[in-house]
Structure formats: C-alpha cells, structure tokens
Amino acid sequence: AWAHTARFFTTASQLNQLPAGDLPELAFVGRSNAGKSSSINTLAQRRQLAFASKTPGRTQHINLFAIGPKDAPDAYLADLPGYGYATVERGAKLRWQKVMADYLEVRRNLAGVVLLVDSRHGFTALDERLLDFITPRVSNGEIKLLVLLTKADKLTKREAQASMQAAQNRLASLATDEADIGVLLFSATQRTGLEDLAETLHAWMQA
C-alpha cells in the first residue's frame, strides 16, 4: 500500500533540474509500449498517474513522483523516457542516450532500476544498451535491478517459463550478489507480479 501515496512531483529535461538529496530513487525504464505507464499506474492504483511521459514535447523528460507523507516524502519514483520508436530521428536518439547514460551512471541517490521488457519479445538492442549503462553500478552493488517481463497474460505457461529462463540467463553474469537482480513475470491487467514488485521496491527504499 506504500505505493498508493505516489503523486506527481516534478518533471526534468536535464539532470541538474532533478532534486538533490539522499531520498532513494526508483527508476522505471523501458522501450516505448513495453507497458511502463501501465505498471506504474497499477502499482500506484491510479489510473493516470504516469501519462506526462506520453505528452508531446514531454517524451524526453524524466518525471518524478513522490512517495510517502506529503511534507516529508521518503522516496521518489522516476519515470524515464521510453525509447525505441522506429521513427525517432538520429538527433533524438543521441539525446536519449545522453540523458539515460548520465542519469543511470551518475544519479547518486538512485537505489534501483526497474527495466520493463515485453515478455513476448525479450531484450531488444536498446535494452541491451541500457543494461550496458547500468552494469557497472549493478555489479559493484551500488544499485539493484529488477526486470519486469510485461504483458505476461498474453503468454501460455510454457512461453512464460521460456521468457523467464531467457531473461535469467542473460542477467546471470551481471551481478556479484544474486540478491541485487531479479526477474518477474508481470501483467498490469491481471495484476500478476504486483505484490512482488511492491515488495522489492519497498526493500530498495529501506536499504
């Protein structure tokens, strides 16, 4: 229930516009259409909390939501720009890379990253890029990683197992400490994996 306190806090097009300080930050990243907004909204039990990331002109922004008491939030949830639109021109791709690399590599209070991947497709080339950005900090235990295999309701049991296995294989070498990485089958419509997601994030906030 901690996530139900989530509310819009601020939006930033550059790293230096984000609040400084030590509040743990939980970042949601993923390919456009992977189900990022749906997962954030389901987690927060708010139909339209994450929508700004889809507003034209705002698609390259980082949107922050505050969690906890109004006057003293105890964490931020960061909705990072979705990536991978085939139509996006080169300049925008480069800007995306710079924002993401900067954020993931230097954001000091980043506690963990939730990477949303469509369970039917697995990691795309840009997901791999993103994994490259975060691997150093995951490997040295600085940040955690949770991969959500989204839209799991569209898979048969057997397909779901295969999707899970493939993701686990890919991530196996990434962390020194197994507890720093996780993979979950997730469905916003069926609420599959929702409790595990909430529990994992809550643990990240306490760490």
82 near ligand GDP (CB under 6 A)? yes
Cα 5 from Cα 162, distance rounded (Å): 35
163 near ligand GDP (CB under 6 A)? no
Contacts with ligand GDP, 170-189, as mask; x by CB under 6 A: -----------------xxx
193 near ligand GDP (CB under 6 A)? no
Q: Compare residues 50 and 175 and give the one whose CB is closer to ligand GDP.
A: 50
32 near ligand GDP (CB under 6 A)? yes
**Both tokens of residue 140?**
């040295």
Cα 107 from Cα 190, distance rounded (Å): 33
124 near ligand GDP (CB under 6 A)? no
Q: Compare residues 2 and 85 and give the one whose CB is closer to ligand GDP.
A: 85
Closest separation in Å from C-beta 127 to ligand GDP: 12
Q: Which stretch binds ligand GDP (CB under 6 A): 27-35, 101-109, 123-131, 196-204?
A: 27-35
150 near ligand GDP (CB under 6 A)? yes
**Alpha carbon 36 to chain centroid distance?**
7
- Which of 25, 27, 29, 30 is in the footprint of ligand GDP by CB under 6 A? 30
**Alpha carbon 170 to chain centroid distance?**
18
- Annotate 75-107 with b (16+ C-beta within 10 A) or e (fewer): bbbbbbbbbbeeeeeeeeeeebeebbeebbeeb
Nearest residue to 188 (alpha-carbon basis) of 158, 161, 148: 148
What value, to the nearest 5°, has the Cα angle with vertex 182 and ends 170 and 132? 45
Q: Compare residues 23 and 147 and give the one whose CB is closer to ligand GDP.
A: 147
> Which residues contribute to the site for ligand GDP (CB under 6 A)?
30, 32-38, 82, 150-151, 153-154, 187-189
